[in-house]
Structure 1
Amino acid sequence: MARVRLIGPEAVTVPELGHREVQPDEVVEVPDERFEGYVCQPGTWEAVEEPKTPAAKKSAAKPQKEN
């Protein structure tokens, strides 16, 4: 499981976590395969611990070949 921190200004209810209310600055565990769905919202969530499984990590951009 990966871990993310709520950095938004207000508590949020997260349906994916059993409708749990997450408080600002609280760290929660999320499924590895859903990690990107949280950290793609940089105004709300920040990464604390990335997924351990390589398949769960997806790069937003592929490295370019040098000519």
Structure 2
Amino acid sequence: MARVRFVGAEPVTVPELGGRSVQPDEVVVVPDDRFDGYVCQLGTWEAVEEPKQEGPEPSLPAPKKTIAARAPQKDEG
């Protein structure tokens, strides 16, 4: 679960959190899949702890090998 801080000036009721009242500067736990819906409201919420990544860290692809070009063959004749 992710955590966000309410940065508004007055308490608000958040239906998604079971209708609970959230006080200014209070940190609340929100579902990972809803984290972006809170932090996109810059004047209302700020990120405290981002959602955990599931599975292994994505890895970068291996660099491709480069092969030097051969010198052109000489024509006889």
Which residue number corresponds to residue 9 of structure 2? 9
Which residue number corresponds to residue 20 of structure 1? 20
| Structure of larger gyration radius | 2
Which residue number corresponds to residue 71 of structure 2? none
Task: Look up the SS of the partner of 1:42 in the other structure.
Answer: coil
| CA RMSD in angstroms, aligned pairs only | 1.4
In structure 2, stretches of 5+ residues that fail to align are: 55-77
Moved over 3 A (4+): none
User: Which structure has the highest helix share of the two?
Assistant: 1
Residues 12 and 22, structure 1, Cα contact 8 Å, conserved in 2: yes
Task: Look up the SS of the partner of 2:41 in the other structure.
Answer: coil
Residues 11 and 22, structure 1, Cα contact 8 Å, conserved in 2: yes
Counterpart-to-counterpart distance in 2, 1:20 and 1:8: 15
In structure 1, stretches of 5+ residues that fail to align are: 55-67
Q: TM-score, normalised by structure 2?
A: 0.68
Identity %: 78
How many equivalent pairs are there?
55
Q: TM-score, normalised by structure 1?
A: 0.78
